[in-house]
Every structure is written in structure tokens, then in C-alpha cells.
Amino acid sequence: MRAAVRPATPSATSLSDRWRGCRDRLLASAAFQRWAAAFPLTRPIARKRAAELFDLCAGFVYSQTLAACVQLDLFETLRAGPSDVATLASRAAMSADAMTSLCEAASALQLLERRGAARYGLGPLGAALLGNPGIAAMIRHHAALYADLGDPVALLRGQDRERRLAHYWPYALDHSGATLTRDSVASYTALMAASQPMIADVVLAAYPLSGHRCLLDVGGGDGSFLAAAARQAPRLALKLFDLPEVAAIAQERLAKARLADRVTITPGSFYSDPLPIGADVISLIRVVHDHDDDAVAQLLAKARAALPDNGVLLLGEPMSEAASGADGVSAYFEIYLRAMGQGRPRSAARLRELLMAAGFSQVRQLRTRIPMIAGVIVAKS
């Protein structure tokens, strides 16, 4: 039997609640909407709101148009120059009509651009995407997220479901890492490596590491962030800590990059093992948001214990309430991490609280070039 849905209990209303109540009643009124669309001074606002609402309704279609372009390698195909629809259609094993629909939809989204009759080239967003292979990799892995989101309410209720995204990130199902295999970590590790250059650019520009002696990157994946740090600071000694199967991938990748003699790799789980000592700066890049508060509290305490007095913790990841225009980050990660089964997008203020509770001091949020990609916080042990 389904539980009856109880109406929300009215609570004491503040002045701001009452003001917002009036605004909401006005915006919800069909008569007001008609008036606002007709009146010259409110018409631009009415049109903007209508377009925003339309984009929210159509968002899934936009994402799947993009997914189809990536799956069919359309951007790569058009890198060399425009192509006619018949050629694109035969490459993609679909009718010319279907390819025209895809190209028209992608052109409306600025991914492609019409270049004459039945001919298309890259659009500004499609061209930008080519400059960053990490984005295409992100788009491909969204197949797992969208499968989980087929029934968003079941997902939020935690009802029985396949949990494809949690299997994509298997450490969400096994905190010790003991059951993880090379195969099960390979795809997420490759995805992280593909998107790491843009993260490293943002983080290392905000906090250059040249003043440090030794960096320990916890949850360092295949070592891509360490490799970028090594380029920036040629005398920096390097350490990496990650789950055993990922640590093995890092060992190979860093050896190929001729960094084997600069790096020490320690396999382990920060749920059960201490962190290696000896570094004067510890980085946590896109790690904290993947874990619940209790685990983060423990992880930060372990990082503090591994640092010397006045050591630095460097935390870089997308943060909620990062900047105006970056609200999508919160919406995305709230639902993404819910599908993954653990973690939270956190604001800089919340991260500061967690850092202070773990005994860190002088917590500072640094400006980053693109806050949507990553915010950066540093703190002293």
C-alpha cells in the first residue's frame, strides 16, 4: 500500500517568504503571463523565461542529440571540413532524411553549421568540443547516468534498480577496493585522465606548486595530475595514493612519462589505510565530492596526520554556489552523485567547515579561471 502524501505543514512565514509567495502567484497566473508577453517593457523578460523553461523541458533531447553526434564521431569526421548529408548518412548507416534531422538539430544547438544545401560543417560548440577530448569522453559515459535516470523518482527513492553508474565507479560499491579488477577501474580511470588536463590547468594556475618539496596526490588516478604538476615544478618529488588496481595503472603511465624515478606509488584505500607521510602538500582533486561527510571527515583527518606542521592541503573540484552562471554544477552533481550512490556537491563554505573540523587552519578559497570546472581551496595543517 502506498503511503498517503501529506500536505506540507505551513511554517512561520518570514517577510521574504511572503514576498516570494506574491511573486510566485503572479508568475503562475496565466493572465499575468499573457499581459507580460504583450507589454513592451516586460516582453523581453517573458520571452527569456519562456526560452529557459523550454530549454529545461527539451534538455534531454539536446543531450541525446549531442550523444548521437559523439557516438557517430560526427565532429571528428567534420574536423577536416564540411561534408554532404549523403556521405555522412552512409557512414552512419542511416537514411539521408534521418541524418538531415540530426544535422538540423545539431545546427540549432550550434554543434554543427549548415554550409549550403544538404551540406554541414562544425558549429562553434562542436569545434570547441574537438579541442577537449575529455568532453566527448564525459558525454559517452553519460549513457550509464541516463539509463539510471530513466525513472528519476525511483532513483531518488532508492528503489531497486540496476545502478549502472555505481558499477561504472565501482569504488562506490566496494570501499576497500578488494573486489575491484583492472577491467572494472580501467574505463573510469581513462575518463578521468582524458578530462584531467583542463582540471590541472585550472588548479595549478590557481595554486602553483613550485614552492613545495613533495606532492602526494590522494586518489590520483593514473597520475595525470602528478605529471602536470611535475611539468610545472621540475624539482617537485611526487607521491600517489590510490586503490591497488588504479595504482598499477599509474605505475605504468608514469613510467612511460619517464617519471618513474621521481614518483612513489602507494596502493591502498583511504577508508582503511593511513596515508603515506613525507609530502609537504597533499592534493585531493575531484575526490572529496565522491564521498559522504563521515568518510570525508576521516579522509581529511588522515591527510592532516600525514602532513608536517604548516603543510598544505590542496582541494580542487567543482563546487556548488561557485559563481553566478555555474548553477548547473549543483543541479548536475546533486543528481549525478545520487545515481552513483554516494557523495555530495559541496559549497566552499561547507568544505571550509569540514576542513576546520579536521583541524586545518588558514582555510582559503582561491580564484580559478573557470569556477564551473573546479574551485580550489588551500588549508594549513
Ligand X SMILES: C[S@@+](CC[C@H](N)C(=O)[O-])C[C@H]1O[C@@H](n2cnc3c(N)ncnc32)[C@H](O)[C@@H]1O
Task: Supply the residues annotated as catalytic.
Answer: 289
Our finding on whether 163 is near ligand X (CB under 6 A) is no
* Binding letters toward ligand X, positions 340-379, x by CB under 6 A: ----------------------------------------
Residue type at position 352: R
> Do the beta carbons of residue 316 and residue 376 sit within 8 Å?
yes
Q: Count CA within 13 A, CB hemisphere, residue 7.
A: 3
> Do the beta carbons of residue 243 and residue 270 sit within 8 Å?
no
CB of 347 to ligand X, least distance (A): 19
Our finding on whether 196 is near ligand X (CB under 6 A) is yes
Q: According to CB under 6 A, which one of 32, 62, 146, 271 is a site residue for ligand X?
A: 271
d(CA 343, CA 337): 6
Kindly indicate which of the ranges 153-161, 214-222, 337-345, 349-357 contains the residues binding ligand X, using the contact rule CB under 6 A.
214-222
In 306-337, which positions are buried (b, 16+ CB within 10 angstroms) versus exposed (e)? bbeeebbbbbbbbbbbbeeebeebbeebebbb
Our finding on whether 246 is near ligand X (CB under 6 A) is yes
d(CA 341, CA 276): 28
Grid coordinates of 105: 538539430
Q: According to CB under 6 A, which one of 121, 126, 221, 375 is a site residue for ligand X?
A: 221
Cβ-closest position to ligand X: 219
Q: Which is nearer to ligand X, 149 or 172 (CB)?
A: 172
> Do the beta carbons of residue 220 and residue 250 sit within 8 Å?
yes
End-to-end CA distance of the chain: 53
Kindly indicate which of the ranges 58-66, 89-97, 240-248, 322-330 contains the residues binding ligand X, using the contact rule CB under 6 A.
240-248
How many residues form the binding site for ligand X (CB under 6 A)?
19
Residues 275-314 close enough to bind ligand X by CB under 6 A:
285-287, 290
Our finding on whether 212 is near ligand X (CB under 6 A) is no
Please report, as ranges, the residues that interact with ligand X according to CB under 6 A: 171, 175, 192, 196, 199, 219-221, 225, 242-243, 246, 269-271, 285-287, 290
